Amino acid sequence: MKNPTSDRFWDTPPVVLDPLVPARATLFWLHGLGADGNDFVTVAETLTLTHPALRHILPHAPRRPLTLNQGMVMRAWYDIALEGERWVPNDDDLRVSCAAVQHLIENEVQRGIPARNIFIAGFSQGGAVALTAGTRMPVPLGGVLALSTYLPLSHELAQRAHPANRTLPIFMAHGTQDPVIPWAQGNQSRQFLESAGYPLTWHSYPMPHSVCGEEIHDMTTWLTPHLSKNP
């Protein structure tokens, strides 16, 4: 198991998009299975047009053999196996990735960005890590943007969620035609988080496992008040 607090977890430095003005907030982007940090550069640049003091950090998940794909090596936040027709994530991998992301957040706080001005966005696998890392972070974050994803380890939420983020703002969005993580699965996670008391904004779009322009607009709109309340 890789040590999440060391450079050994990360095999490639993250993509960093620094603003032209002094950064007042940071948004981490966690890509999906098989992609890399460059996957959301265009989306990040679009958000910068509205939020010019926002730094974007786009880490690359480590390369690992994926059981689901006959051991093919690809970038993944955690391994996935197939039991019958059910996908089974490797919970240990997931926890290690969450710890690694939390360490990146701690580094950003040490750079001078208040934790309340730090956000985590994630797509698919990356969104699962974002939700888990965000709810377990021991300092209050600005929020989580969870795209086309679900909440893993939901049975641990009551015991493992940190009190500092019991009111963590969450933006969730999902395509109604998603064949990878069905809309119903995302909606079930949404309902679970809402029942646990998290302030959550939910959007559905007529799209597959993807991101659309309307979704980017809605993310920008959601971010605006959360950034302005923590100047």
Answer yes or no: pTM beyond 0.85.
yes
Mean pLDDT of 89-115: 96
Mean pLDDT of 128-141: 98
Residue 58 has pLDDT above 50, yes or no: yes
Q: pLDDT at position 2, please?
A: 43
CB 17 within 8 A of CB 107: no
Residue 115 CA, distance from chain mean position: 16
DSSP code for 141: -
Length of the chain as a residue count: 231
Q: What does the alpha-carbon distance between residue 187 and residue 174 come to, in Å, rounded to a whole number?
A: 8
Residue 230 has pLDDT above 70, yes or no: no
Q: What is the dihedral of CA 92, 74, 33, 8, to 10 degrees?
A: 50
Residue 193 has pLDDT above 70, yes or no: yes
Any idea where the domains of the chain sit in the sequence? Answer: 15-228
Q: How confident is the model at residue 205 (pLDDT cuts 50, 70, 90)?
A: very high
Give the three-class secondary structure for 194: helix
**pLDDT tens digits, one per residue of 61-77:** 999 999 999 999 999 99
Q: What does the alpha-carbon distance between residue 123 and residue 101 come to, in Å, rounded to a whole number?
A: 14
Q: How confident is the model at residue 4 (pLDDT cuts 50, 70, 90)?
A: very low
Residue 231 has pLDDT above 70, yes or no: no
Closest CA to 219 of 110, 106, 130, 132: 130
- Residues with a known catalytic role: 124, 178, 209
Closest CA to 171 of 153, 154, 148, 188: 148
Closest CA to 222 of 127, 153, 146: 146
Residue 165 has pLDDT above 90, yes or no: yes
Closest CA to 18 of 47, 43, 53, 50: 53
Q: How confident is the model at residue 95 (pLDDT cuts 50, 70, 90)?
A: very high
CB 47 within 8 A of CB 78: no
Give the three-class secondary structure for 144: strand
Question: What is the CATH number that goes with domain 15-228?
Answer: 3.40.50.1820
**pLDDT tens digits, one per residue of 6-35:** 468 999 999 999 999 999 999 999 999 999
